[in-house]
Amino acid sequence: MPVPTKIPIDAEKLQSEIDELALISENPAPVVTRVLFSEADLKARAFVKGLCQNAGLVLREDAVGNIFATWLGTEKNLPPVATGSHIDAIPNAGKFDGVVGVLGAIEAIRALQKAGFQPKRSVEIIVFTAEEPTRFGIGCLGSRLLAGALSLEKAAQLRDSQGKSLEEWRKSTGFNEKELGTIKLKKDFYAAFVELHIEQGPLLEKENIAIGVVEKIAAPSTLQIQLTGSGGHAGAVLMPGRRDALLAGAEIALAVEKSALESGSPDTVATTGVFRIEPGAVNSIPCRAWLEIDLRDTQVKTRDLALLNVEKSIHEICQRRNIQFDLKRLNVDAPALCDSVLVQTVLDNCRTINLSVKKMVSRAYHDSLFMAQICPTTMIFIPCRDGVSHRPDEFSSTEQIKNGVIVLAKTLSQLSAE
């Protein structure tokens, strides 16, 4: 079947669905918070599954809640073409991160259906479970398990800040009918994976370019640390000999910043994004602290150097301050290289429809980081205002989103017609 030249994207409908989904949140608008397995996350899943059903897609879910919505092709024995992203959102987020890639994929399929296109290979939308690390400390939980990049032993050890395990969450949400071991996909289960996403950085907007095509995704890593000192009365315990967990944590956070500044690479970024203390009373010395540290780079060498320096600092600071610590490397991932043929396909598609385009590196991570381990993968980026993301004022215009969906639809039609 020839690929359609005219793809009638209904950008207004897509925008209203993005707006509607944004209202399913743990916080009042414009804040979007949808932490994995929260009531908002479960409601948002139901909303998206409803849209998929209305589009005639066949639904299935796996043992960690990854959702697969399939537009059946005429040749069911061929590996499908996949697209998709995530709908979970970190606390205090906006409405476009991940969502554009999920709802945009549904609109891309609806538009291809309207154009009379019938795919040869099935086209599958994946709504990945927990791209965001909020609940369990590690990102891309669903895609890691699909790619076999997270061992079942490590998955069994995952706990949220209340101590509730992944297994307990699977039970309470009803995803436990199948074992976690059933999630992993065979290599090349998919013919290709293409993810549409907002850039989450400023380059496309600055250079007035409509589309970015991702060639590489930076290498992320996460450390989790629990610090234990000793508490006591803020008035009665004199300063010598105190074992204040917060102060050790504060020194560690500064060492984290230093590790990035001194890695020798401008691409190293390091953030202490979680810092909780106990007991959290103004007249009580903090006896315990929990930190989560995010450290990334486009190059593994400088990322690893910074990581080692942070770990050395933690040892030194805790020894000097007589603080016990429990340090875990939650994840230390390689960067992903995208498939050069797919990158070229997307570039050519943009040029055919006169959209300005450039190749890019993604500094944010995405489920594509893990999909790239099992099939040819690339990403389509659209600009976002001032490069802002992970904030309620995150914004891409209806027109910018429409551009991304047209490129996605065109690419999916080509890949599924072969």
Alpha helix locations (H) across 209-364? 245-261, 300-320, 340-352
Longest CA–CA span in the chain (Å) reads: 81
14/140 with CB nearer Mn ion: 140
Q: Under the phi-then-psi rule, with left for phi > 0, alpha for psi from -120 to 50, and beta for the rest, what region is 347?
A: alpha
Paired tokens of 417: 């017609």
Tell me: does residue 365 bind ligand GLV (CB under 6 A): yes
45/197 with CB nearer ligand GLV: 197
Q: How far is the CB of 262 from Mn ion (least distance, A)?
A: 27
Q: How far is the CB of 244 from ligand GLV (least distance, A)?
A: 30
Residues 180-199 that bind ligand GLV (CB under 6 A): none
Query: Residue 366 class from Cβ within 10 Å (0-12 exposed, 13-18 middle, 19+ buried)?
Result: buried
Q: What x/- string results for residues 312 through 351 when contact with ligand GLV is judged by CB under 6 A?
A: ----------------------------------------
366/402 with CB nearer Mn ion: 366
Paired tokens of 132: 């965001």
Residue with tokens 């504060």, as numbered in its chain: 250
201 makes contact, choosing from ligand GLV, Mn ion, none, with CB < 5 to 8 Å by partner type, with: none
Count helices and strands in the chain by DSSP H and E runs: 12, 15
Binding-residue total with ligand GLV (CB under 6 A) = 4
Tell me: does residue 132 bind ligand GLV (CB under 6 A): yes
- 89, 317, 364, 374: which one contacts ligand GLV (CB under 6 A)? 364
365 makes contact, choosing from Mn ion, ligand GLV, none, with CB < 5 to 8 Å by partner type, with: ligand GLV
Inter-residue long-range contacts of 311-318, CB under 8 Å, 24+ positions, other chains counted: 311/223, 313/251, 313/252, 313/255, 313/258, 313/259, 314/225, 314/252, 314/255, 317/248, 317/251, 317/252, 317/255, 318/227, 318/248
190 makes contact, choosing from Mn ion, ligand GLV, none, with CB < 5 to 8 Å by partner type, with: none
Q: How far is the CB of 265 from Mn ion (least distance, A)?
A: 23
The three-state secondary structure class of 93 is strand
333 makes contact, choosing from ligand GLV, Mn ion, none, with CB < 5 to 8 Å by partner type, with: none
Residues 64-103 that bind Mn ion (CB under 5 A): 97-98
Tell me: does residue 384 bind ligand GLV (CB under 6 A): no
Q: How far is the CB of 267 from ligand GLV (least distance, A)?
A: 14
Contact 365, 374 (CB under 8 A): no
180/364 with CB nearer ligand GLV: 364
Contact 139, 130 (CB under 8 A): yes
The three-state secondary structure class of 40 is helix
Interatomic CA distance for residues 227 and 155, integer angstroms: 23
Residues 96-135 that bind Mn ion (CB under 5 A): 97-98
Binding site residues, ligand GLV, CB under 6 A: 132, 139, 364-365
Contact residues for Mn ion (CB under 5 A)? 97-98
